[in-house]
Structure 1
């Protein structure tokens, strides 16, 4: 269901227009009447709103995402519901999606790719530290402002779709080009899954192409799982070699072989930006193709069937797997001699014996491996933290057990020894025994992050985005807060702690206070109706508001020179210094009616003469509220009477509460006339008024 302009959500957010749509939701531009600012509102589609379990997840994840505060993440202001409508109120970003930017301006040089990449991964680092996985990173979910600031959106919303619906929803279908292999198979998803999708986005930025294309979404998913990632240099020979290595590392098939966290990927991206000859540290891995199990294939097949039934946005359906064989053509029987029949029989027996022999040899080697189940190559756990080891083991379908500690050169608390060793082939679900390091000679050793130091850069007066980039370049973590400030421009850094030049450990937090600009002081709009212009100016000046434009209209009930209506309702709160427009009465229209100059009586449009001595008659007319008013609580009612002698009068102009309808208005005239009535300037009704009839 589309929301019409003017619809009010939560008695606060007024819908202005639709600005976008996706598989799960529709996005509108709206105005927050309480804070007098424009926002974006994402409203859940009806088919999802009827699922209570989905709505509960939607709200939970949206509230979780609301905890994120980062210059490269679209802010979430509010989460609410209004009857059967569930919505998220977000920061309104003026700009384009990254998908549109790529289509119009791509491919980009390596520096631009890295600049966008740093902003994108910085946003993910902030989210991952809050234990939030995006799970739907794609250019359509990334906005670019007019100042080239990248903002990731839809945090938490993708997570509301659990693993069982990863391929089944239309939204997920649209994302299959950016899915990690584990997402395509519905398996365990972690930070590395987001970083895989980032690698695909970087690939597209650098080449204006997607690494895997096919006629169906299921084929694309299978390519992510089975096929080797193409090198970006095939499509863009000018790409920096180390950027290509970075993309290929981020998009490895196995989770444990990718960047393990956003910090690792950021470090390499910044290193390349600072030094084109920066060397990316690579572990020795085979860039293996993963063979899918029957379970994985069935998962994708089953969900492809689901997508045929549940494609809410009309995207291409995933074709089902079908095997069709052409009908065998029957041949005409031929007469065969007995000799040939015997010969054929002997040949058949020999062929059968040969086949049995071959099968026996094959089964002799194959059956033992069948009994073992699926196998996995043990990765290296040495130097990994416990969390990293758990993640690595899960990606290989293995288990780990901590069996003790011993002195080693590895950092304290990381893995010093493992059994079985890396490179061995073991059945899946095998438990790998890990021994942790207790430091050199059993003494506690410091990790590199504790021993390395860095200088705090100067960030005061910089924009929040620039300050964030400076801190990240120094391997420091921004700790952001906001304050109103009369002198520092909105969005710039007021102060920092520690101060510029201080020596701190890498990974330390630097507090930076961002200006909200001058504090917004609100004023309550007074009642100006019935006041003169001079009186209205005084009233407004007393509450630090000012008089705006003055429009004049005829009015039968309001004295000439006095105010009929005002642009902002009485009691509303607006920012100090705002202007309030007014409508001023010109008095009764008859007072300025020019009599006919040809000595004839005025006539109606159909030529009927209206005697000038006909007395004026007053009739009451009833106006009812529109039937399709939705959630509106009041209407601006404007009624204009046009008499057959050409006289035009404003019969009514005021805001009416919905509960006060119907209203009765007095109409004064003679002969016949037409009454035009509008509600909030939109619906216009036309009624014929006959003053000749006795009421």
Structure 2
């Protein structure tokens, strides 16, 4: 008997403790399988076995591969992050952190699974996104309107403030780690570089999103007195700047020498008048404060949320 036929017969047997509606949902998933799909038998940390369906590779990133798929644990689309078993500890750490910082604007993780063959570890996540922020901005004509910009600002600042309130630093915040749902809500993803504030080290990052005080000393350890949350603060600022202008800051010829030596580059000077006309005054003010070149003047995200201008939209 072909494997697919056996699988459908096996799964269609009445499950003890499962109702007809849930069993029918599982059957619908299996009946929709095509020849191009991949399936994998897995078990979780409690020994409970299940079946994962891999439909499409989304991207390969470093040591991991991201797939869109389906699961017999939930009859709705999910996303899988697969790593070789030798990176198991790193994936488990990411899973624990993402569970610890559960927030409506952070991608939800649902479980960890181990292939029965023993060579792959999988993290199961919600498939509640349409595309990443970078892809959306690059494929959308014109500029994003004010209401959407304000929505993104509030969601991103709120999510990262929550991460910091739990004692963690994301450390690799960029527009490709910001996912969008169908209604253009933000979901922060990829906590592979995240760690406790006191233990954080630069391991994986995009130099375009690294604050200036660290960009010039990337090969050196982070100073013990440095507040590592400032890495995320700057990252949020750059993401919001890009969402507004569709280009990176500091890409034009500007006098950087004085800025480097004296810190004379307040963030407010980065936005031109035409940029300010396309966003609310609150948005411009938040971007300016988060992207202050002087780290001592850069405020914490939780401070930003408490200010009146943050809600003036």
| TM beyond 0.5 | yes
The answer to whether the 8 Å contact 2:157/2:301 transfers is no
Corresponding position of 1:252: 292
The answer to whether the 8 Å contact 1:58/1:160 transfers is no
1:194 partnered with 2:236: no
The answer to whether the 8 Å contact 2:55/2:67 transfers is yes
Corresponding position of 1:272: 312
Tell me how far apart the structure 1 counterparts of residues 309 and 231 of structure 2 sit (CA, whole Å).
18
The CA deviation string for residues 292-327 of structure 1, in whole angstroms up to 9 with x for no partner, is xxxxxxxxxxxxxxxxxxxxxxxxxxxxxxxxxxxx
Q: Report the CA distance shift for 1:224/1:150 in structure 2 as closer, same or farther (over 3 A).
A: farther
Corresponding position of 1:138: 174
Tell me how far apart the structure 1 counterparts of residues 92 and 309 of structure 2 sit (CA, whole Å).
35
Alignment TM-score, normalising by the size of structure 2 = 0.68
Higher helix proportion, which one?
2
The CA deviation string for residues 418-471 of structure 1, in whole angstroms up to 9 with x for no partner, is xxxxxxxxxxxxxxxxxxxxxxxxxxxxxxxxxxxxxxxxxxxxxxxxxxxxxx
1:261 partnered with 2:301: yes
Q: Report the CA distance shift for 1:224/1:120 in structure 2 as closer, same or farther (over 3 A).
A: farther
1:26 partnered with 2:61: no
Corresponding position of 1:60: 93
Shift in Å at residue 207 of structure 1?
A: 0.8
Tell me how far apart the structure 1 counterparts of residues 295 and 159 of structure 2 sit (CA, whole Å).
20
Tell me how far apart the structure 1 counterparts of residues 250 and 164 of structure 2 sit (CA, whole Å).
27
- Out of 127, 150, 161, the position equivalent to 2:186 is 150
Alignment TM-score, normalising by the size of structure 1 = 0.33
The answer to whether the 8 Å contact 2:110/2:126 transfers is yes
- Out of 227, 247, 265, the position equivalent to 1:209 is 247
- Out of 8, 28, 40, the position equivalent to 2:79 is 40
Corresponding position of 2:9: none
Corresponding position of 2:13: none
The answer to whether the 8 Å contact 2:286/2:304 transfers is no
Shift in Å at residue 94 of structure 1?
A: 3.7
Tell me how far apart the structure 2 counterparts of residues 144 and 250 of structure 1 sit (CA, whole Å).
22
Higher strand proportion, which one?
1
Which residues of 2 match residues 147-186 of structure 1 at below 5 A?
Answer: 147-154=183-190, 156-159=191-194, 166=203, 169=204, 172=205, 175-184=206-215, 185=217, 186=221
SS at match of 2:168: coil
The answer to whether the 8 Å contact 2:173/2:209 transfers is yes
- Out of 97, 109, 114, the position equivalent to 1:81 is 114
Shift in Å at residue 144 of structure 1?
A: 1.3
Tell me how far apart the structure 2 counterparts of residues 249 and 119 of structure 1 sit (CA, whole Å).
17
Shift in Å at residue 234 of structure 1?
A: 6.1
Backbone CA RMSD of aligned residues: 3.2
The answer to whether the 8 Å contact 1:17/1:30 transfers is yes
SS at match of 1:31: strand
SS at match of 1:117: helix
The CA deviation string for residues 40-89 of structure 1, in whole angstroms up to 9 with x for no partner, is 11112x5xx546xxx43442232122123322111011124332323211
The answer to whether the 8 Å contact 2:111/2:125 transfers is yes
Larger Rg: 1
Tell me how far apart the structure 1 counterparts of residues 239 and 129 of structure 2 sit (CA, whole Å).
21
Aligned positions, number: 251
1:119 partnered with 2:150: no
SS at match of 1:37: coil
1:243 partnered with 2:283: yes
1:91 partnered with 2:126: yes
1:8 partnered with 2:41: yes
Shift in Å at residue 134 of structure 1?
A: 1.2
SS at match of 1:66: helix
Corresponding position of 1:344: none
RCO higher in structure (CA 8 A, sep ≥6) = 2
Tell me how far apart the structure 2 counterparts of residues 91 and 207 of structure 1 sit (CA, whole Å).
30
Residue ranges of structure 1 left out of the alignment (5+ in a row): 215-221, 274-695
The answer to whether the 8 Å contact 2:129/2:187 transfers is no
